[in-house]
Amino acid sequence: MSYIEVSNFSKSINNKFIIQDINFKLEQGEVLVILGKSGAGKTTLLRNINLLDLPNSGRLDIDGEIVYNSNEPVISNKELQKRHKLIGLVFQSFNLFPQYTVLDNVTLALKLNNKKKIAEYRRKIKNRKEVLDFSKKLEEEVFIKASKILNDLDLGDKLNSYPYQLSWGEQQRTAIARALILNPKVLCFDEPTSALDPSLTKEVISVINELKNKKQTMIIITHEIDFAMQVADKIIVMDQGKIIEEKVNYHE
Amino acid sequence: MEFINVTLDLLMGFGKTVLIFCIVLILSLPLGLLVTFGSMSKIKILKEIVRKIVWIIRGTPLLLQVIIVYYGPGLWLNLSIRNFRFGAVIIAFVINYACYFSEIYRGGIESIAKGQYEAGYVLGLSKSETFFKIIFPQVFKRILPAISNEIITLVKDTSLARVIAMEELIQAAEEIMATNGILWPLLYTGVFYLFFSAILTKIFEKLENSLNYYK
Ligand SMILES: Nc1ncnc2c1ncn2[C@@H]1O[C@H](COP(=O)(O)OP(=O)(O)O)[C@@H](O)[C@H]1O
Ligand SMILES: [Mg+2]
């Protein structure tokens, strides 16, 4: 079995298929690029893989786990939350939280996680000081992890900046860091290079290649063929909600 | 009657005014959020009912609502509640203001892009975490000017309590007028209201500035 398997994904809205019978496989550390013109259904496919929308039919396996199966009973909200953490998404418009600094954007999810851990710990261990030490330790771990990720993404000097103070590229890298801190099994990008000047596209390519060197599995949507050729291991081309072409991209 | 005595008498009334103001705010601000959740609920019947109630409350005078809450139990339910004046004012005001606040909240919530929720969900946040950690702080910043306006209006609306002879500021002035045959204490109450609004305006200004650190 492959690391990621998308099987028979279909989604229809108002009785009209937006994506239909999508199948592909991806190995760990590979980069899949989904090509296709505007309206082909790329974003919809990605949203369904991220479980932001749930496919009407289909199955998603990641790393030997069934992440979604339309034949299974309805997933509880709690379970859905857990599964969301397996799959990272960098939105086309990033959707950074404007009221939080770069650091807080990146650490929010882990901090909320830790809150629950601390509450649990408090129930078990009544000693106040121990609970305090425990929460300090977790806080430190989060900070160290976030700093490392942000440094690697060249954002070491932006920890305390707010999103509106960042350049386009810095915002994108913040969004990447925010997703990476959860160690997602797969990181998805929706049009990471759209409407840009070429120098910014180069920057995106170098960031993606660096993630690739770290064996981060990625799924990337684009409509730019040049970009696809530079980062992809596998390429699928979509049109009218279906895969019309699938190929392996051999890098020289 | 001397200035100082009038001032002291009016201060008593003003105390009641401030008390009404504070209790109404403390109760109606969170209740308004509950009303908002109702008016945005996915359960259609709940949504319709809540929106109708809000529509009725906003479409009728607060004065009338105070009268209905005060006399209603006695008239229609044969209930006589002792010392109900204060309670009636609080109930009517809290419901009225919760409805107004709920509409402001709803406008603010609806103005936040869907992507902000989705960014929360893909990080594995729950619906309530997403709402309270991501959405509400942004809503709060956006609606603060509208909320401040409403709160300043509440300062002046407290005077409606006198329709059921509640001893608030204006009522206190009218009693002085009636027993002493002088008019100026009534005009003097304006100074108290102005003073109160001025303080609130300053506080809101500070609050708005403190939220200016992001766009
Ligand atoms: N929520 C929706 N309701 C109705 N139509 C939709 C919805 N989402 C997407 N579509 C339609 O599905 C098609 C594919 O959209 P999308 O996935 O955004 O394509 P792409 O990302 O490839 O440009 C478009 O024709 C779009 O209008
Ligand atoms: Mg798209």
CA distance A208 to A232: 10
Burial of A201-210, coded b for 16+ CB within 10 Å and e otherwise, reads bebbbebbee
What's residue B152's pLDDT? 95
| Ligand 2 center–CA A34 separation, angstroms | 11
Q: Which residues of A are less than 8 Å from B119 in CB distance?
A: 91, 95-97
- The alpha-carbon gap from A183 to the nearest alpha carbon of chain B, in Å, equals 11
Can you give the pLDDT at residue A195?
Answer: 66
How far apart are alpha carbons B65 and B62 in whole angstroms?
Answer: 5
10-residue stretch averages of pLDDT, chain A, 252 residues long = 92 92 93 93 95 92 91 87 94 96 96 90 85 91 95 95 95 96 96 78 90 94 88 93 88 60
Please tell me the distance from the alpha carbon of residue B7 to that of residue B107, in angstroms, as a whole number.
Answer: 42
Q: Which residues of chain B have a CB within 8 Å of the CB of A84?
A: 121-124
Do the chains contact at B214 and A164, CB–CB below 8 Å? yes
Give the pLDDT score at B9: 83
A54 interfacial to chain B (CB closer than 8 Å): no
Domains parsed from chain A with CATH numbers: 1-86+184-252 (3.40.50.300), 102-183 (no CATH)
Q: Which atom of ligand 1 is nearest to the CA of A223?
A: 22
Q: Which residues of B touch A113 (CB under 8 A)?
A: 124
Global pTM?
0.88
B116, B124, B129: residue with CB nearest A182 = B124
Q: How far is B121 from chain A (nearest CA, A)?
A: 7
Q: Taking CA atoms, what residue in B is nearest to A88?
A: B122
Sheet of A57-62, strand order: A16-26, A4-13, A57-62, A65-69
Chain-centroid distance, C-alpha B104: 12
What does the CA dihedral A179, A185, A188, A193 come to, rounded to 10 degrees?
Answer: 80
B23-61: pLDDT as tens digits: 999 999 999 999 999 999 999 999 999 999 999 999 999
- Among residues B186, B187, B190, B169, the alpha carbon closest in space to that of B13 is found at B169
Q: Where are the domains of chain B?
A: 3-210
ipTM > 0.90, yes or no: yes
A84–B122: do the CB atoms touch at under 8 Å? yes
Q: What is the CATH number assigned to the segment(s) B3-210?
A: 1.10.3720.10
Ligand nearest to the CA of A91: 2
pLDDT at B1: 61
Minimal-distance CA residue of chain A relative to B210: A99
A58 Cβ closer than 6 Å to some ligand 1 atom: no
pLDDT tens-digit series, residues B171-213: 888 888 888 888 888 888 889 899 999 999 999 999 999 999 8
Among protein residues, the one with the nearest Cα to ligand 1's atom 16 is A41
